[in-house]
Amino acid sequence: MAANGARTIAVIGGGIAGLSAAYRLRELAEAKRRPIAIEVYEADRRLGGALETVRRGDLIIETGADSILTEKPAGIKLAERLGIAGELVPTREQFRKTFVVHRGRLVELPEGFALLAPARIGPVIRSPLFSPLGKLRMALEPLIPRRRATDDESLAGFVRRRFGDEVLTRVAQPLAGGIYTADPERLSIGATLPRFVAMEREHGSVIRGLRAAGRARESATRGSSGARWSLFVSFRTGVSRIVETLAARLDDSLRMGRAVASIVPDAGDGPARWRLRFAGGGETSADAIVCATPAFAAAAALAESNPALSAKLAAITYASAAVVNFAWRAGDFPVAPAGFGFVVPAAERRRIIAGSFSSLKYPGRAPGGTILVRAFIGGALNRELMALSDAEMVAAARDEFRDLLGVTAEPSLTLVRRWRDAMPQYEVGHLDRVAEIERMASEIPGLELAGAYLRGVGIPDCIASGERAAEAIDSFLGN
Ligand SMILES: Cc1cc2nc3c(=O)[nH]c(=O)nc-3n(C[C@H](O)[C@H](O)[C@H](O)COP(=O)(O)OP(=O)(O)OC[C@H]3O[C@@H](n4cnc5c(N)ncnc54)[C@H](O)[C@@H]3O)c2cc1C
């Protein structure tokens, strides 16, 4: 308890989940006029975790996450509460196209392809991305009987069963696997794309389910002025705007460069329930804790006080990736790029897993005549590439851009950012694992977990996770 009688809540981790938790705690305390002291302990010297915008001259460079999905409302709602929703920018619709590398060329993803399934067969039939047999197999999907078993399945198993191997290797692996930087043979379909499982269950077919969803969307928007936001948005000055705004509101709560090494129940006589020990020495106490670190850091911190929960947390594995940003002159591209980006199937055996044209995707990212590009390296299927030096990564990405897009010129900017153990892997059975983690954590009063390893890796999921944890702590503190 703080000197003024306010109770102390420690938020461990200053990524988007931890910052959202801290801000929600502050909102709730203000609404109830409850005096509380919030302390956010962040191991790094920088806040934001996987969100990092670097601004250099006229360039707005995203080294990590770059887009906020609007279908899940938590991101937009937080921006509205922070008063920065007016700074949200939509994607540039004229470039809404995704390409897939196929036999060394960029081929446009057929219109209406939703991550792992086509909503319409017509564009697929015309696409050079699939063989005649592959197209036939895909068209037969509505006739494939629904799966009776209800246990979890891998993304690869699901796609192969419903659509055949070509859709898996040419589209679902690089697109869906790419989002999670995961091996689709291990990735849980139930934890990542449950709506496709529901479509099979409810409509007997994913294609029928997608059509029904399309009709429902149409009738919902008929009569209205259409969707308010594009599917993805960012902020005018980059995705870190939300981190900077949260940081400004939480300024007096931020404790940077403080890695929490262990969380143990407080054995002292005082009212505080928890002691936090810092890596490198020192400790503090708190009445309640939101632990918003990656699972492995939460596992380490809880190893002493709760070995069983710690072991469950430690079982969640992570993948690493690197993002290399380049700036080129538009004229350096023999053919002007015209899309958000492209994905690279593992079967193509290249050293990048995706490329995106940041300045085509969002407005204001680069001055006219400059194209800002991101190349993604690594992930669960290419772990060995993380051993490359920065110079080797740059060379590898440039080789691929030369080969695929014909760009030979020196880039005017090169920026390598490594994301070590940054992507939790939602392996088959993930939801059961998380339910067990949540059950075990619920037996520990005054401790809540939050973060990307639980029920969604996206920015809105992480915001919702932090806010849920804050609300649970608020209830724990009572009135
Ligand atoms: C390259 C990349 C691109 C992505 N692109 C997108 C995208 O476009 N859209 C999207 O929605 N999502 C995207 N994601 C996913 C999303 O950004 C992350 O899942 C999300 O930001 C994770 O937030 P978090 O707060 O749970 O964890 P993190 O961002 O990992 O934050 C955890 C924080 O805890 C700190 N920490 C760790 N251990 C300790 C300790 N012991 N004590 C104190 N602090 C500690 C860390 O330093 C870190 O700051 C991307 C992720 C990556 C890596």
131 within some domain: yes
Which atom from ligand 1 is nearest to the alpha carbon of 457? 19
Cα angle, residue 109 at apex, residues 183 and 127 outer, rounded to 5°: 120
Q: Give residue 422 CA to ligand 1 midpoint distance, Å.
A: 6
- Rounded to an integer, the average pLDDT of 381-400 is 96
**What is the residue with the minimal CA distance to atom 29 of ligand 1?**
49
- Confidence bin at 216 (pLDDT 50/70/90): confident
101 within some domain: no
Which atom from ligand 1 is nearest to the alpha carbon of 17? 25
- Rounded to an integer, the average pLDDT of 419-435 is 97
Last residue of one domain, picked from the residues 221, 256, 284: 221
| In a shared domain, residues 120 and 185 | yes
Q: What whole-number percentage of the chain has pLDDT above 90?
A: 89
Counting ligand 1 atoms within 8 A of each CB, the residue from 11, 16, 274 with the most, and so the one to mutate, is 16
**pLDDT for the residue 432:** 97
Q: Give residue 191 CA to ligand 1 midpoint distance, Å.
A: 18
CATH number at residue 196: 1.10.3110.10
Last residue of one domain, picked from the residues 400, 424, 448: 424
Q: Give residue 106 CA to ligand 1 midpoint distance, Å.
A: 31
Is the predicted pLDDT of residue 229 greater than 80, yes or no? no
Q: What is the DSSP string of 83-96?
A: T-GGGEEE--GGG-
**pLDDT for the residue 478:** 87
Whole-structure pTM value: 0.96
**What is the residue with the minimal CA distance to atom 13 of ligand 1?**
65
| In a shared domain, residues 250 and 291 | yes
Q: Give residue 151 CA to ligand 1 midpoint distance, Å.
A: 29
Q: Give residue 462 CA to ligand 1 midpoint distance, Å.
A: 9
Q: Give residue 271 CA to ligand 1 midpoint distance, Å.
A: 33
Residue reference for tokens 């940003």: 325
| In a shared domain, residues 359 and 306 | no
| In a shared domain, residues 180 and 135 | yes
Is the predicted pLDDT of residue 222 greater than 70, yes or no? no
323 within some domain: yes
- Rounded to an integer, the average pLDDT of 274-280 is 96
Name residues contacting ligand 1 (CB within 6 A): 12-18, 41-44, 49-51, 64-67, 69, 259-260, 292-294, 297, 321, 323, 419, 422-423, 451-452, 457-459, 462
Is the predicted pLDDT of residue 443 greater than 90, yes or no? yes
Q: Are 292 and 13 in contact (CB under 8 A)?
A: yes
Backbone torsion region of residue 306, taken as left when φ is above 0, otherwise alpha when ψ lies between -120 and 50, otherwise beta = beta
Which atom from ligand 1 is nearest to the alpha carbon of 69? 11
**pLDDT for the residue 369:** 95
65 within some domain: no
- Confidence bin at 4 (pLDDT 50/70/90): low
Q: Which residues contact 284 (CB under 8 A, 6 or more apart)?
A: 10, 39, 275, 276, 278
| In a shared domain, residues 191 and 330 | no
Q: Are 172 and 155 in contact (CB under 8 A)?
A: yes
Torsion over CA of 400, 403, 405 and 411, rounded to 10 degrees?
Answer: 60
**pLDDT for the residue 456:** 96
| In a shared domain, residues 446 and 418 | no
**What is the residue with the minimal CA distance to atom 30 of ligand 1?**
49
**pLDDT for the residue 120:** 86
- Confidence bin at 214 (pLDDT 50/70/90): confident
- Rounded to an integer, the average pLDDT of 435-460 is 97
Q: What whole-number percentage of the chain has pLDDT above 70?
A: 97
Residues spanned by the domain of 308: 7-49+239-316+427-477
| In a shared domain, residues 371 and 246 | no
CATH number at residue 267: 3.50.50.60
| In a shared domain, residues 325 and 451 | no
Number of separate domains in the chain = 3
- Confidence bin at 268 (pLDDT 50/70/90): confident
CB neighbourhood size of 232 (10 A):
18
Distance between CA atoms of residues 317 and 423, nearest Å: 8
**What is the residue with the minimal CA distance to atom 26 of ligand 1?**
451
Mean pLDDT is lowest, of 58-72, 165-179, 293-307, for 165-179
Counting ligand 1 atoms within 8 A of each CB, the residue from 19, 39, 41, 42 with the most, and so the one to mutate, is 42
**pLDDT for the residue 332:** 98
**What is the residue with the minimal CA distance to atom 40 of ligand 1?**
259
Distances (CA, A) of 444 to 9, 62, 295, 300, 447: 15, 38, 17, 16, 6
**pLDDT for the residue 387:** 95
Q: Give residue 13 CA to ligand 1 midpoint distance, Å.
A: 9
Q: Give residue 249 CA to ligand 1 midpoint distance, Å.
A: 20
Is the predicted pLDDT of residue 21 greater than 60, yes or no? yes
Element spanning 165, H or E? helix 165-167
CATH number at residue 408: 3.90.660.20
Which atom from ligand 1 is nearest to the alpha carbon of 321? 1
Mean pLDDT of the chain: 94
- Confidence bin at 177 (pLDDT 50/70/90): confident
Is the predicted pLDDT of residue 371 greater than 70, yes or no? yes
89 within some domain: no
459-477 and 16-32 are packed helices; what angle lies between their axes, rounded to 10 degrees? 40
Q: Give residue 331 CA to ligand 1 midpoint distance, Å.
A: 35
| In a shared domain, residues 119 and 217 | yes
Q: Give residue 50 CA to ligand 1 midpoint distance, Å.
A: 4
Q: Give residue 75 CA to ligand 1 midpoint distance, Å.
A: 15
Counting ligand 1 atoms within 8 A of each CB, the residue from 91, 362, 457, 467 with the most, and so the one to mutate, is 457
Is the predicted pLDDT of residue 223 greater than 60, yes or no? no
**What is the residue with the minimal CA distance to atom 5 of ligand 1?**
65
| In a shared domain, residues 410 and 437 | no
Is the predicted pLDDT of residue 159 greater than 80, yes or no? yes
| In a shared domain, residues 256 and 332 | no
**pLDDT for the residue 227:** 59
Last residue of one domain, picked from the residues 403, 424, 445: 424
Q: Give residue 51 CA to ligand 1 midpoint distance, Å.
A: 7
415 within some domain: yes
Write the pLDDT tens digit of every residue in 60-91: 999 999 999 999 999 999 999 999 999 999 99
| In a shared domain, residues 167 and 288 | no
- Rounded to an integer, the average pLDDT of 281-310 is 97
- Confidence bin at 194 (pLDDT 50/70/90): very high
Q: Which residues contact 186 (CB under 8 A, 6 or more apart)?
A: 154, 380, 425, 427, 428
Is the predicted pLDDT of residue 215 greater than 70, yes or no? yes
Write the pLDDT tens digit of every residue in 130-152: 999 999 999 999 999 999 999 99
107 within some domain: no
Q: Are 42 and 257 in contact (CB under 8 A)?
A: yes
**pLDDT for the residue 231:** 87
22 within some domain: yes
- Rounded to an integer, the average pLDDT of 7-17 is 97
